Structure 1
């Protein structure tokens, strides 16, 4: 059974580094079914990782 409260993405303690520089520290959030998540930032901000 799926409900609108079902968590489909659960992030806890996310950390992102460029070299020795932390650009994200201890980021925690949840996204539930039906919600929209957007990552916004200027070009070169690190939204795409690869």
Structure 2
């Protein structure tokens, strides 16, 4: 049961991050998008 509960919590957390990313992209909010990345990331 604990494994299944952890899986559901993990899936909910991942879905929340995806929702935040999508919302930030739609709103053209670069700060919101970049908040999901590590500070040292380099992206082109």
TM-score, normalising length from structure 2?
A: 0.22
Between Structure 1 and Structure 2, the one with more strand by share is: 1
Asked which structure has the greater RCO (Cα within 8 Å, sep 6+), the reply is 1
TM-score, normalising length from structure 1?
A: 0.22
